[in-house]
A and B are shown apart, each in its own frame.
Chain A
Amino acid sequence: MDILAPLLAEGCAAAAHAPWPRAEIGTEIWQRVTLHLAAGELDLLGLWGEADRMHMAVSAPESREIAVFTLACPDGRFPSVGLSHPPAIRLERTIQDLFGLIPDGAEDARHWLDHGAWGVGTPLGTPGPAPEHAYAFLPVTGENLHEIPVGPVHAGIIEPGHFRFTADGETIIRLEQRLGYVHKGTEGLMIGAPLDHAARLAGRVSGDATVAYASGFARAAEAALGIAPPPRAVHLRAVMAELERIANHIGDFGAICNDASFALMLAHCSVLRERVLRAAHLAFGHRLMMDRVVPGGLTQDITAEGLAAIASLIPAFRARLDQLAGLYDSMASLQERTVTTGFVKHDYVRRFATGGHVGRASGRNFDSRKWPGYAPYDATPFDVPLRTDGDVNARVWIRIEEIRQSLGILGHLLATLPPGPCRTTLPAPTTPVEGMALTESFRGDVLIWLRIAPDLTIERCHARDPSWFQWPLLETCVYGNIIADFPLCNKSFNCSYSGTDL
């Protein structure tokens, strides 16, 4: 039974929104959508603001519907979604910090991205005074408890964030995250930016997923403008996306093992990762393939040497991966650290609509390449690996299996690469047009929503990283684990700081 269609029918449909419908609705329908979310009938895809209105993107997995609901906020307030659906809490705190829109009834009124350092408050709404610098962590009381504050500067070469552990001896009783340290003002810089400049910004929301972000941005822009990029460009975007997925998964596989002091795996995995990046550089002229995907297609075609390099990499990579996976499988001392560690509850991944390996290791069968699906994956055979054991070990195996699938996808894409141009010109719309896209990064589904003005500049663009719905679960999965296993839990997630701090 359709859930979204009757709700949409009660609102006022937006004229130019593709490929899914958007409707302007009142408070009553907004609250009904929220109730459906709380009841688990809908998944929250994204929640973002503009100066005077709120947008909420939701999907109905059973009836396979996706829609965006918009609520005007003339008095700067909206009924809190997070009050009954916790995955929205951090998104609402972000909206309050950036736009000054207040979620009515929200229980957690603390700032999230705004640390009181910008010299201005609510920079994307009506700018006001900067708030106080102080931040109140949640109180913890009990006998024998001690606190361990970590960060924002961590011990490794990783992004900054603050973790507040409460422990009883070695056992973690609570973890509270405080993020926002790498807030760069990306969405503010997007407003008014020409399309090509905004595409470069989108490619730097999270650098390790630059291809996924640039592809998502391009697909949203193409949907808005009502054009299709050339088939060759569509194919090559997927080639880049799979190279990116392989490079990240193999790097993390090595790093997870290294966090259990098994350095040999890191060394071998880092060699494999380097080989992928070198093939990418040969093929597309940039090791991380930044700024290659643009609205309308690609900035350049794949080189002949690059094509050959990727083709010869696939079998060698597969053979080495089998060897390393076998090594992982045979090391009891390594699995002693990963099996049953950092268990993520199935109920949580369903409620948070958690994507990527975190969701798929805890039984949530979702991959945006399959549904809603997009070219060329609709014509590419591959499986989505799924497990239910939900621990670090499960996430390791999901990643290994995903690499194997990606190697297969790469082989298929190279064998069926269509000829022709790689870029098409963009038409200028007569009125503002809106588009949205879900793109599968190695972490999970990236949502991009944007509105393009007739002069081909961005009026508003929102990027929602998969980590928004993974970070809170990292807080939950470490309960009862020892402090020393936190790096394993953390690395098996590998959430993006930059992607959520924006």
Chain B
Amino acid sequence: MRRILLESLVNAPLTENAPSPDDAALAELAADVANTAMRRLGRSLAIRQVDAGSCNGCELEIHALNNPFYDLERFGLHFVASPRHADVLLVTGPITKNMREALIRTWDATPGPKWAIAAGDCAVSGGLFATSYACTPAHETIPISLHIPGCPPTPTALLRGLLALLAQAL
């Protein structure tokens, strides 16, 4: 234990430089995010992740944002356990009809100002499941402010999208 801790002190950090915010995401957000949000939120955003039917691939990459290489919290972005604490819902999956009500209730439980991000091809457009009897489009369920495509989006792609939100919101 002592040796592992000591090594961590001596070795250089693994954390990598931040990618630049996604230009497309910046443009998408420009119309959506009011400047007043900045004064309300200070310099941090609390994210509540909601899996609305994902195959769990997106969750794996969202988890990776917390590892020392990406270290999401250095940007003031952190995941919270309740929508009551959240500014942002990070929604994955093709919005299964079985999760639709839970997603709407989670959105309603989130205090404003708030944003919803559709992460991954399924949440963005339904992906492979767009024509299924069991799924429904995300934008018809809750208002979506930002789309991050990818199957699943890489941690870098997720980070670029979140940084764009941060740049606009704060």
Contact = CB atoms under 8 A, between A and B. Distances in A.
A156 B61 contact: no
Contacts of B9: none
Contacts, number: 148
Contacts of A308: none
For this complex, into which size category does the number of interface residues on chain B fall? 35 or more
Contact of B4 (A117, A273, A274, A327): A327
B49 interface: yes
Interface stretch (A58-66, A178-186, A292-300, A344-352): A178-186
Nearest to A268: B4
A185 B134 contact: yes
A189 B132 contact: yes
- Candidate in A120, A160, A251, A267 with the most chain B CB atoms within 10 angstroms: A160
Contact of A157 (B59, B132, B133): B59
Given A155-B81, A157-B59, A270-B66, A182 B53 contact: yes
A181 B68 contact: no
A118 interface: yes
A208 B54 contact: no
A113 B96 CA distance: 11
Interface in A264-307: 264, 267-268, 270-271, 273-274, 277, 287-288, 290
B67 A185 contact: no
B55 A206 contact: yes
Contacts of B52: 160, 182
B68 A185 contact: no
Main secondary structure of the interface of B (DSSP, over half): mixed
B67 A271 contact: yes
Contact of A271 (B68, B100, B106, B132): B68
A210 B61 CA distance: 14
A270 B67 contact: yes
B64 A274 contact: yes
B35 interface: no
Contact of B101 (A117, A155, A157): A117
Given A185-B133, A189-B131, A496 B56 contact: yes
Nearest to A255: B63
A290 B57 contact: yes
B50 to A, nearest CB: 6
B154 A287 contact: yes
Given A158-B51, A207-B54, A207-B152, A188 B98 contact: no
A160 B51 contact: yes
A157 B62 contact: yes
B61 A287 contact: yes
Given A189-B131, A204-B128, A153 B102 contact: yes
Given A156-B81, A271-B69, A287-B154, A188 B133 contact: yes
B100 A274 contact: no
A410 interface: no
B60 interface: yes
A216 interface: no
A221 B135 CA distance: 27
A288 B60 contact: yes
Given A153-B50, A160-B51, A268-B4, A184 B62 contact: no
A57 B67 CA distance: 42
A468 interface: no
Contacts of A419: none
A152 B56 CA distance: 15
A36 interface: no
11 contacts: A118-B134, A157-B59, A158-B51, A185-B134, A185-B135, A207-B59, A208-B56, A268-B4, A270-B66, A273-B67, A274-B69
Top 4 A-B pairs ranked by shortest CB distance?
A207-B57, A185-B132, A207-B55, A155-B81
Interface of A: 113, 115, 117-120, 123, 152-153, 155-160, 180-186, 188-189, 197, 200-201, 204-208, 210, 251, 264, 267-268, 270-271, 273-274, 277, 287-288, 290, 323-324, 327, 330-331, 496-498, 501
Given A159-B56, A183-B98, A205-B55, 13 more contacts: A117-B98, A119-B133, A157-B49, A182-B51, A183-B134, A184-B96, A185-B132, A200-B128, A270-B68, A274-B64, A288-B57, A290-B57, A498-B56
